[in-house]
Amino acid sequence: MNARNNKNKNFFPKLVRKADYGYQYTYQYSPTLAEAFKVIFNALLVPLTSLKGLLFKITGRKISLTKVALVALVFVVLYTKDFKFQIGFTTDENANNEAYWDSEQSASDNELARKVSNEYAPVSAKDVRVKRTNEFIIKYKDIAIKEMQRTGIPASIKMGQAIIESRSGDSRLAKENNNHFGIKCFSRRCKKGHCTNHFDDHHKDFFRKFKSPDQSWIEHSKVLAKKRYKGLYSYKKDYKKWAAGLKKAGYATDKKYDKKLIGVIKKYKLYKLDK
């Protein structure tokens, strides 16, 4: 078998497991447009030939394969009334290059985020929209870095927590309370507009309400300045140890909180914010 045939043999996608990304299709190389159409044509050749035979039995006339393909295309368009055709290719080299600063978005951008039972619970990376998350990171990366420089809390941790706590700004608390971190209120004497009642772990849970999202980022730094989190600062910019420390210190009741946090930091390469 010559080198060209060997290359064509690797054209077809292979389903592989990527750490923290789930399953995805990768290719050995990027095929040309002509090669792509050739594969598509070969895949349609059998059904089109069968359709050609069926039309011959019905009409008694021989119809070229090209005309049969056109008839099939017209039928599909009329039947669906909303015909969309899209071909996407990726390679092993660029499969993991998706980050918030990339201009191109992945095919999953248009997919809806997975529904979770508790709308106030922290979510994992697969529960948020990719495009929305990229936009969220771009919008709030400056405040994350500024707070890191001021307090020593890694920007990757602050951004990661904001994403999983607020679903990239799409949660009810984020929209109604400007609360990106699920910060609760424990005061017994609150002024009007200080907090609102929502059901989370208990029906009497009250969450802080802020005038702007940036205020919640500053308040989050105050929360992590408490004595129970003091030991985390010795980890400096080690986001994995910070994530484990937050879980151990009881920042959230979610048993997988550290895994969710680390997963979103890795997927969106938030560790770049710490440099």
Q: Choose between 205 and 82: higher pLDDT.
A: 205
Pick the CATH number of 107-274 from 3.40.47.10, 3.40.50.300, 3.30.565.10, 1.10.530.10: 1.10.530.10
SS3 state of residue 18: strand
Amino acid (1-letter code) at residue 8: N
Mean pLDDT over all residues of the chain?
Answer: 76
| Percent of the chain at pLDDT exceeding 70 | 67
Residue 9: what are its φ and ψ, rounded to 5°?
A: -60, -30
Residues whose CB falls within 8 Å of the CB of residue 114, separated by 6 or more in sequence, listed in order: 126, 127
Q: Choose between 268 and 98: higher pLDDT.
A: 268
In angstroms, the Cα distances linking 132 to 30, 105, 106, 112, 220 are 28, 10, 12, 11, 22
- Predicted confidence at residue 30, as pLDDT, reads 55
Q: Residue 122 has which token pair?
A: 């922290």
- Find the Cα–Cα–Cα–Cα dihedral 238, 239, 245, 250, rounded to 10°: 160
| Percent of the chain at pLDDT exceeding 90 | 44
Per the CB < 8 A criterion, the answer to whether 183 and 221 are in contact is no
Most trustworthy range by pLDDT among 28-37, 48-57, 204-213:
204-213
Amino acid (1-letter code) at residue 204: K
- Predicted confidence at residue 215, as pLDDT, reads 96
SS3 state of residue 23: strand
Task: Say how far apart CA 180 and CA 213 lie, in whole Å.
Answer: 7
- Predicted confidence at residue 199, as pLDDT, reads 54
Task: Say how far apart CA 123 and CA 162 lie, in whole Å.
Answer: 10
- Predicted confidence at residue 35, as pLDDT, reads 73
User: How many C-beta atoms lie closer than 10 Å to residue 90's C-beta?
Assistant: 17
> What is the number of alpha carbons within 13 Å of residue 202 lying toward its C-beta?
7
Q: Choose between 50 and 113: higher pLDDT.
A: 50
Segments making up each domain of the chain, as ranges: 3-80, 107-274
Residue 8's pLDDT band (cuts 50, 70, 90):
very low
pTM of the model: 0.58
pLDDT at 107 over 70: no
Most trustworthy range by pLDDT among 5-9, 68-72, 231-235:
231-235
In angstroms, the Cα distances linking 261 to 158, 167, 181, 185 are 10, 12, 12, 23
**212 dihedral zone (left: phi>0; alpha: psi -120 to 50; beta):** beta
Residues whose CB falls within 8 Å of the CB of residue 247, separated by 6 or more in sequence, listed in order: 257, 258
Per the CB < 8 A criterion, the answer to whether 221 and 151 are in contact is yes
Amino acid (1-letter code) at residue 132: R
Q: Residue 16 has which token pair?
A: 């592989």
Which pLDDT tens digit goes with each residue over 125-183?
Answer: 898 999 999 999 999 999 999 999 999 999 999 999 999 999 999 999 999 999 999 99
pLDDT at 104 over 80: no
Which pLDDT tens digit goes with each residue over 67-79?
Answer: 777 777 777 666 6
DSSP result, 28-44: SS---HHHHHHHHHHHH
Most trustworthy range by pLDDT among 49-63, 94-108, 153-167:
153-167
In terms of Cβ atoms closer than 10 Å to its own Cβ (0-12, 13-18, 19+), residue 229 is middle
- Give me the mean pLDDT over the 96-119 stretch: 46
Which pLDDT tens digit goes with each residue over 178-225?
Answer: 999 999 887 667 777 667 775 544 445 788 999 999 999 999 999 999
Amino acid (1-letter code) at residue 174: A
- Give me the mean pLDDT over the 102-107 stretch: 40
- Predicted confidence at residue 114, as pLDDT, reads 52
- Predicted confidence at residue 264, as pLDDT, reads 97
- Predicted confidence at residue 115, as pLDDT, reads 52
- Give me the mean pLDDT over the 19-41 stretch: 57
Residue 17, H or E segment: strand 14-18
- Taking every pair of Cα atoms in the chain, the longest distance, rounded to a whole number of angstroms, is 88
Residue 15: what are its φ and ψ, rounded to 5°?
A: -80, 120
